[in-house]
Structure 1
Amino acid sequence: MKIYPIETGNFKLDGGAMFGVVPKTLWNKTNPADQNNLIDLAARCLLIEDGNRLILIDTGMGNKQSEKFFGYYSLWGSHNTDKSLAKYGFHRDDITDVFMTHLHFDHCGGSVQWNKDRTGYEPAFKNAHYWTNKNHWEWATQPNAREKASFLPENLFPMQESGQLKFIERPEGDFLQESELGFGIFFADGHTEKQMIPHINYNGSTIVFTADLLPTAGHVPLPYVMGYDTRPLLTLAEKEKFMNAAADNNYYLWLEHDAHNEIITVERTEKGIRVKDILSCNDILT
């Protein structure tokens, strides 16, 4: 197995929304805001090369939305999916599976693109199966008012209409030891219904793609929960369980949204779970 970071693009969001009830005087120390109160964010996806399978976890925002839409998110930097894939000798047509942790636009927007004449949409990875789970699919395609702006129909239905959509079989509990894609999955409901957090066995260690359960290194303390979460008290409980496991098992935590810290480990301290080491992808993948 080989693993590669796929940087799909950087953006900014309001720091207050990203940290919920935590005062700015605290979160600004780790995630400094600009003059508009926006903080730097990434869409750092993960590519797994395993035998004849090439699995992409999340796909970023994509590029099909309007200039007005992207204007809300202050895009910055030069990263994009095709350049990032090409860096490792791959093309989007090589992808066999796209695993989406959840279907908010900043995680799955890159899964769908305009067709050639821009009259409609088509899957951006034409040879791939697209993986979600049935509970989350139903949640996303019949959205509540709070999340409706994050579940965009043009990001979702083309996967189904193409026949490429697949559902992960969900266990009775919150952890699936081994999915159809070969890695374990922690199911978390605080951010959104049945978000899937992959646990990947790699060279005797576990890499966890933390998605929106742990957006940045600044979110490690338990109360630091995003204002975007639909059930913040449930996030608190799920996060406590997950962070204790991460400290006890020395997980490598792959931070999808942290623009400046790629991977961290955590440890128990007198103040609770805190960051232990900050690592680059190259530190653990070479």
Structure 2
Amino acid sequence: MKLYTIDTGFFKLDGGAMFGVVPKSIWQRTNPADERNLCTWATRLLLIEDGKRLTLVDTGLGDKQDDKFFGHYFRHGDATLDNSLAQHGFHRDDITDVILTHLHFDHCGGAVIREGERLLPAFKNARFWSNEKHWNWALHPNPREKASFLKENILPIEESGQLAFLKEGDLFSPNVAMRYAYGHTESMMLPQISYKGKTILYMADLLPSVGHIPLPYVMSYDVRPLTTMEERQSYWQEIVDKEYILFLEHDPVHACCTLKQTDKGIRVAETFALENI
């Protein structure tokens, strides 16, 4: 098995929304905001090469929406999905599987491309993995999440016949288990990967960045913030006890980190690139 970091650029979101009840005077120490109160976030994906399977975890923002839509999010950076795949010798047509941790647009927008008037899966040879609870949640969104669940990112996958569902307890593969979290959104999936004798947990939006490690640093986007705190408390202790490595999808600087127990609670221990594992 080999793992690769797939960088697809950066975007911006409101710092206050990203840190919830935490004052700006505190969160700006780790995630400084610009003059519009926007902070920069990565769209960093994970590619898993395991035998004949080449699995991409999440797909980033994509590029099929119009300028008005992207004008809210200030995409920037030179990295693209195709360029990052090519750096490792791959093409999007080589992808056999796509795990969608959840269906918010910054995680699944790149799953669908626009060709003329048609919306088509971006990975024509891949099976797209979600779970039935989250899929139905996204198709019938609550008002709080409606702007994050875009049908043009979701329906073409189902219509293509390439959609598949995992159930809780299912193994994705012998080396990849699937964990779940319910605070950010319903049934968000967190791939847990056995790699080089270590355990890597893909954090999706349970931990957007190193700056979010303290338990109360919960995003305003989370539909069940108290559940998020409970999940994080449980996960954080397991991560420390079992010495997991965390893969960070949105941290603008750090791809991976570990956690440790301190007098102030669980905090970051080390940060490093995936390639250094």
Report the TM-score when normalising by structure 1.
0.95
* Mapped partners of 2:129, 2:272: distance in 1: 29
- Paired position in structure 2 for 1:191: 184
Q: 1:209 to 1:150 in 2, by over 3 A?
A: same
CA contact (8 A) 1:168 1:180 kept: no
Runs (5+) with no aligned partner, structure 1: none
Residue 184 (structure 1) shift: 1.4
CA contact (8 A) 2:6 2:47 kept: yes
Superposed CA RMSD in Å reads: 1.0
- Paired position in structure 1 for 2:212: 219
* Mapped partners of 2:173, 2:193: distance in 1: 13
The answer to whether 1:58 aligns with 2:50 is no
Letter in 2 for 1:114: R
* Mapped partners of 1:165, 1:181: distance in 2: 21
CA contact (8 A) 2:168 2:178 kept: no
CA contact (8 A) 2:13 2:40 kept: yes
- Paired position in structure 2 for 1:42: 42
CA contact (8 A) 1:169 1:179 kept: no
The answer to whether 1:279 aligns with 2:277 is no
Counterpart of 1:179 in 2: which secondary structure? strand
CA contact (8 A) 2:4 2:275 kept: no
* Mapped partners of 1:121, 1:211: distance in 2: 25
Q: Deviations over 1:216-249 (max 9, x none)?
A: 0000000000000000000000011111111111
Q: How many residues align?
A: 277
Runs (5+) with no aligned partner, structure 2: none
Counterpart of 1:108 in 2: which secondary structure? helix
Residue pairs, 1:144-155, within 5 angstroms: 144-155=142-153
Residue pairs, 1:200-239, within 5 angstroms: 200-239=193-232
Q: 1:229 to 1:134 in 2, by over 3 A?
A: same
Residue 283 (structure 1) shift: 1.2
CA contact (8 A) 1:48 1:56 kept: yes
Q: 1:240 aligns with which of 217, 221, 233?
A: 233
Q: 2:162 aligns with which of 161, 164, 172?
A: 164
Q: 2:141 aligns with which of 137, 140, 143?
A: 143
CA contact (8 A) 1:17 1:227 kept: yes
Deviant stretches of 4+, over 2 Å? 178-182
- Paired position in structure 2 for 1:71: 71
Letter in 1 for 2:244: Y
CA contact (8 A) 2:3 2:48 kept: yes
Q: Percent identity?
A: 55
Q: 1:61 to 1:181 in 2, by over 3 A?
A: farther
Counterpart of 1:55 in 2: which secondary structure? strand
Residue 251 (structure 1) shift: 1.0
* Mapped partners of 2:112, 2:175: distance in 1: 24
Q: 1:141 to 1:181 in 2, by over 3 A?
A: farther
Residue 180 (structure 1) shift: 4.7
Counterpart of 1:199 in 2: which secondary structure? strand
* Mapped partners of 1:7, 1:218: distance in 2: 20
Residue 179 (structure 1) shift: 2.7
Q: 1:133 aligns with which of 131, 134, 158?
A: 131
Letter in 2 for 1:112: V
Residue 102 (structure 1) shift: 0.2
Q: Deviations over 1:230-279 (max 9, x none)?
A: 00000000011111111111111111000111111000111110000011
CA contact (8 A) 2:138 2:149 kept: yes
Residue pairs, 1:107-122, within 5 angstroms: 107-115=107-115, 118-122=116-120
